[in-house]
């Protein structure tokens, strides 16, 4: 009755958006994009666009949110109503609430929270356009915004997903691959400590496949980590260059 | 015992600066025998000490610092000041009065009200309590005139310059009184708004180009050019 | 009588010290589960139900079946909805109110295990394609929190689904008419979750509340009956190394086989 669905990966191993199996979506990063925030970053990964902003550390209001021995993150992952195919209602969905929590827990280990007891650090991520991998792009952007704000960190956190689509193991799934594929494993990684700070999975994978997918995702994270550093340096290098010309 | 970066090279959080027997200075941390940067900034090392001069960081109170705070709340026994730090500073009422004060009789808002800018000094700060400030020393108190500008606190030393050379030059060229808070707030008081504007432009330029060299000369040149333009206009 | 979630420093040290010797506060080994008690069908009014006790953690799951419209992109399948309540009476730290991030995370992790393993044959729940399907509501109700709510909830949800009765029916003029008798809810898989806590670089299974209060991070691995992974969730503010994750996944596979026998039987 239903038509045979178009293949997501052709027999040359090329995906619907022209990428190879282990190729990241094209990434564009800018830091310090919002004037009011203490730190901010904008990341485009393929068609996914995320804006992240940091306010703080500042005194905790309401007081009961504060911890006596460390700073506390208040994270909000949110999708703009126009970010998806069918308009999404602005109120936080259960998915956004869960993702706000796992993203916060992915960022927590990277910051020296113990330096600022009794304070709050607000971290806002807005998905302006969604095409798969939004929680990963959000984590990448959040880490950049924190560095831009001058919050002391152990390492940058880079995030990337890998999974299984039509018998192939692929890196950085787009929205169609995520919806129609067999498995999706988003991972956030801090290379200095070989630390996986976000790990989720849905779908079905054998243990061997899972091991390979994790390797693939971590490889993607390392590449994104290098791009993060470049982007942070680029802000200051440009000023230096302008200086030397003028 | 290798150091992987030269002085004044740019590093980002998590960059491995060195491995070996060193001391972890500002904006670095040690894990096993490795030293990493915690902020974006320029590497500095010497005397077995590694540090990063952060290009952007917020102010952390230090006892003895002169800061400029804004009153955000007037309470029963004192004022709460926003000193551009993660913590609100407290100024006790007893500190501002020469005599013991009575909460019913004395109206604190008549001394300092919400929105006032106060030049004060940090007298106490530890991790378990908010910082405490005083206005008891001469020169401290409410700022009544002038223009305020803000720079990121890590650049304050650059604004001041070696032995005050940079800020001294700006004061001289613009004929302004300039009060610098370690927390990044700067008040400029000049003979007229135009002089104040020049001083502020100079401060902005210093902040933007803090990581470059030859800055003092360039700022002096810029100020003289700007002033030259104004003088030409007034002559005709 | 404490309502504080701050664990005493002395206790933290005690737990960490014991764990480095391969032991736990209650004498268990690192991969031992607490005593598991499963009671199916405890709520007769529900179409399916179960109460699970995992040590002192107590979770009840109830299944209600209703009819409704299918999702537009899957017109031939029934609908599954999982909700979880951290009922205030279960812990001094649970406040009344709509589900918070912990309750939502719990529901979604339980949901993922059931959904991705295709535990329920949702296509058999289609009545009139594109128009009418059965909607399966799984409500997880935490009654006492002594750690490891996820594993207990997955076991409770699975048990409840396994004893869920679907009334017999026929379709007349596009409407459902009940007929006498029942069938079992069509189930094709039995997902089981194993949760680890990481304390001082050591992984322990089935953490108690005290252990959760001092842990660095948490990892849940859900496997379906043929040993494939169908859901994973890292929790907590710490991290795992790649090696630890692989170690956990392999240990989880073994453990789920043991646990599945308890829940599903032989």
Residue whose C-alpha is closest to residue A104's, from B86, C237, C225: C237
Percent of chain A scoring above 90 in pLDDT: 85
Whether C contacts B, i.e. 3 or more CB pairs less than 8 A apart, is: no
What is A167-206 written as a DSSP string? TEEEES--HHHHHHSSEEEEEEEEGGGTEEEEEEEEEEE-
A/B interface, count of CB pairs below 8 Å: 85
What gap in Å lies between CA A109 and CA A190, rounded to an integer? 9
A residues 73..112 contacting C (CB < 8 A): 94-95, 97-98, 100-102, 105, 108-109
Quote the pTM value. 0.91
User: Binning pLDDT at 50, 70 and 90, where does residue C6 land?
Assistant: low
Q: What is the third-level CATH fold of C27-264? A: Ribosomal Protein S5; domain 2 (3.30.230)
Q: Which residues of B touch A (CB under 8 A)?
A: 10, 12-16, 27, 29, 31, 36, 38-40, 54-58, 86-88, 127-128, 152, 154, 208-209, 211-212
Most confident of A61-65, C47-51, C92-96: C47-51
Residues of A in contact with C231 (CB under 8 A): 201-202
Query: What Cα–Cα distance (Å) separates residue A63 from each residue in A59, A67, A119, A223, C125?
Result: 8, 9, 9, 40, 50
Dihedral angle computed from the Cα positions of residues C14, C19, C21 and C23, in that order, rounded to the nearest 10 degrees? 100
Domain spans of chain C, in order of start: 27-264
Q: Which residue of A has its CA nearest to B26?
A: A152
Task: Determine the structural domain holding residue A226 and report its residue range.
Answer: 27-245
CATH number of A69's domain: 3.30.230.70
A246 pLDDT exceeds 50?
Answer: no
Residues of C in contact with A203 (CB under 8 A): 116, 230
A153–B86: do the CB atoms touch at under 8 Å?
Answer: no
C108–A195: do the CB atoms touch at under 8 Å?
Answer: no
What per-residue confidence (pLDDT) applies to B106? Answer: 62
B29–A240: do the CB atoms touch at under 8 Å?
Answer: no
A/C interface, count of CB pairs below 8 Å: 92
Q: How far is A243 from chain B (nearest CA, A)?
A: 8
Structural tokens at position C107: 């529901």
Mean pLDDT of B156-170: 88
Residue whose C-alpha is closest to residue C163's, from C42, C252, C59: C42
What gap in Å lies between CA C79 and CA C120, rounded to an integer? 10
Dihedral sign computed on CA atoms, order B102, B106, B112, B114:
positive
Residue whose C-alpha is closest to residue B219's, from B232, B229, B208, B230: B208
The domains found in chain B, sorted by start residue, are 10-54 (2.40.50.100), 66-143 (2.40.50.140), 147-227 (3.30.1370.10)
What rounded mean pLDDT belongs to chain A? 92
Residues of B in contact with A156 (CB under 8 A): 12-14
Most confident of A40-44, A114-118, B83-87: A40-44
Q: Under 8 Å CB-to-CB from B50, ≥6 apart: which residues?
A: B3, B17, B18, B22, B23, B24, B25, B28, B35, B43, B44
A97–C101: do the CB atoms touch at under 8 Å?
Answer: yes
Percent of chain B scoring above 70 in pLDDT: 93
Q: Which residue of A has its CA nearest to C73?
A: A179
Give a yes or no: residue A153 inside a domain.
yes
Q: Is A134 helix (H, G, I), strand (E, B) or coil?
A: helix
Give a yes or no: residue A51 inside a domain.
yes
What is A53-74 written as a DSSP string? EEEEEEE-SSGGG--SSS-EEE
Give a yes or no: residue A7 inside a domain.
no
Give a yes or no: residue A11 inside a domain.
no
Angle, in degrees to the nearest 10, between helices B193-208 and B215-235: 150
Each residue's pLDDT tens digit, A48-68: 999 999 998 999 878 888 898
Query: Checking DSSP bridges between strand A119-129 and strand A48-59, what pairing results, if any?
Result: antiparallel
User: Binning pLDDT at 50, 70 and 90, where does residue B235 land?
Assistant: very low
B208–A239: do the CB atoms touch at under 8 Å?
Answer: yes
C88 pLDDT exceeds 80?
Answer: yes
What per-residue confidence (pLDDT) applies to A243? Answer: 46
Q: Is B14 helix (H, G, I), strand (E, B) or coil?
A: coil
What gap in Å lies between CA A171 and CA A176, rounded to an integer? 13
Give a yes or no: residue A39 inside a domain.
yes
Q: How far is A97 from chain C (nearest CA, A)?
A: 6
* Better pLDDT: A235 or C117: C117
User: Binning pLDDT at 50, 70 and 90, where does residue B157 land?
Assistant: confident
Give a yes or no: residue A140 inside a domain.
yes
Mean pLDDT of B34-41: 95
Residues of A in contact with C126 (CB under 8 A): none
User: Binning pLDDT at 50, 70 and 90, where does residue C176 land?
Assistant: confident
Dihedral sign computed on CA atoms, order C92, C97, C99, C100:
negative
Give a yes or no: residue A3 inside a domain.
no
Q: Does A191 touch chain B (CB under 8 A)?
A: yes
**Domain count for chain A:** 1
Compute and round to an integer the Cα radius of gyration of chain B: 21
List the single range of B111-125, B213-227, C231-245 with lowest mean pLDDT.
B213-227
What gap in Å lies between CA C134 and CA C216, rounded to an integer? 42
Q: Which residue of C has its CA nearest to A182?
A: C116
Q: Under 8 Å CB-to-CB from B44, ≥6 apart: which residues?
A: B7, B8, B25, B50, B51, B52, B53
């Amino acid at each position: 009755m239903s038509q045979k669905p178009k293949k997501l990966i052709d027999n040359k191993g090329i995906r619907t958006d022209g990428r190879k199996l282990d190729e990241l979506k094209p990434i564009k990063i800018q830091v310090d994009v919002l004037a009011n925030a203490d730190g901010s970053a904008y990341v485009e990964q393929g068609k996914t666009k995320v804006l992240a902003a940091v306010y703080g550390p500042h005194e905790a209001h309401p007081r009961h949110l504060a911890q006596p021995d460390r700073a506390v993150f208040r994270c909000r992952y949110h999708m703009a109503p126009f970010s998806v195919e069918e308009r999404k209602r602005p109120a936080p969905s259960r998915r956004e609430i869960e993702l706000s929590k796992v993203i916060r827990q992915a960022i927590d280990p990277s910051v020296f929270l113990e330096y600022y007891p009794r304070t709050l650090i607000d971290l806002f991520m807005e998905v302006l356009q969604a095409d798969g991998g939004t929680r990963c792009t959000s984590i990448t952007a959040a880490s950049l915004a924190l560095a831009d704000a001058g919050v002391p960190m152990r390492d940058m956190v880079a995030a990337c997903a890998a999974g299984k689509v039509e018998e192939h193991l692929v890196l950085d799934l787009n929205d169609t691959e995520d919806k129609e594929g067999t498995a999706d494993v988003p991972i956030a990684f801090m290379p200095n400590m070989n630390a996986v700070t976000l790990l989720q999975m849905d779908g079905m994978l054998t243990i061997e496949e899972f091991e390979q997918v994790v390797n693939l995702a971590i490889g993607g994270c390392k590449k994104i980590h290098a791009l993060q550093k470049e982007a942070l340096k680029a802000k200051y290098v440009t000023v230096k260059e302008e200086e030397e010309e003028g | 015992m290798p150091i992987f970066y030269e002085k004044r090279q740019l590093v980002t959080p998590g960059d491995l600066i060195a491995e070996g027997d060193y001391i972890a200075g500002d904006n670095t941390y040690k894990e096993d025998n490795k030293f990493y940067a915690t902020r974006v900034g320029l590497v500095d090392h010497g005397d077995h000490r590694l540090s990063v001069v952060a290009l952007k960081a917020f102010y952390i109170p230090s006892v003895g610092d002169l800061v400029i705070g804004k009153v955000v709340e007037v309470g029963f026994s004192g004022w709460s000041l926003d000193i551009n730090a993660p913590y609100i500073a407290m100024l006790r009422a007893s500190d501002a009065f020469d005599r013991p004060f009575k909460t019913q009789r004395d109206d604190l808002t008549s001394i300092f009200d919400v929105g006032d800018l106060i030049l004060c000094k940090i007298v106490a700060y530890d991790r378990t309590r908010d910082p405490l400030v005083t206005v008891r020393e001469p020169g401290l108190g409410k700022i009544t005139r002038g223009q305020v500008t803000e720079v990121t606190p890590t650049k304050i030393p650059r604004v001041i310059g070696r032995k005050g050379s940079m800020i001294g030059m700006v004061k001289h060229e613009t004929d302004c009184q300039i009060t610098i808070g370690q927390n990044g707030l700067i008040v400029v008081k000049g003979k007229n708004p135009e002089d104040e504007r020049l001083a502020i432009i100079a401060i902005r330029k210093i902040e933007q180009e803090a990581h470059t060299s030859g800055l003092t000369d360039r700022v002096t040149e810029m100020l003289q050019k700007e002033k030259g333009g104004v003088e030409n206009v007034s002559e005709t | 009588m404490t309502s504080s979630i701050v664990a005493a420093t002395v206790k933290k040290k005690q737990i960490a010290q014991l764990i480095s010797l391969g032991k736990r506060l209650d004498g268990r080994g690192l991969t031992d589960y607490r005593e598991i008690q499963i009671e199916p069908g405890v709520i007769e009014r529900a179409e399916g139900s179960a109460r699970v006790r995992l040590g002192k953690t107590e979770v009840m799951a109830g299944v209600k079946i209703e009819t409704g419209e299918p999702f537009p992109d899957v017109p031939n399948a029934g609908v599954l909805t999982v909700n979880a309540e951290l009922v205030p009476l279960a812990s001094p730290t649970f406040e009344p109110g709509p589900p918070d991030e912990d309750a939502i995370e719990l529901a979604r992790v339980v949901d993922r295990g059931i959904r991705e393993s295709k535990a329920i044959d949702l296509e058999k729940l289609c009545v009139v394609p594109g128009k009418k399907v059965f909607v399966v509501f799984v409500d997880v109700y935490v009654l006492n929190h002594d750690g490891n709510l996820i594993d207990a909830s997955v076991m409770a949800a699975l048990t409840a689904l396994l004893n869920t009765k679907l009334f017999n029916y026929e379709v007349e003029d596009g409407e459902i008419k009940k007929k006498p008798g029942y069938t079992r809810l069509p189930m094709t898989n039995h997902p089981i979750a194993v949760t680890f806590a990481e304390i001082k670089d050591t992984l322990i299974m089935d953490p108690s509340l005290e252990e959760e209060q001092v842990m660095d991070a948490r990892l849940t691995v859900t496997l379906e009956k043929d040993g494939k992974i169908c859901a994973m969730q890292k929790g907590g503010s710490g991290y795992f190394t790649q090696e630890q994750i692989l170690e956990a996944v392999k240990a989880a596979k073994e453990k789920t086989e043991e646990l599945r026998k308890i829940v599903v039987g032989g």
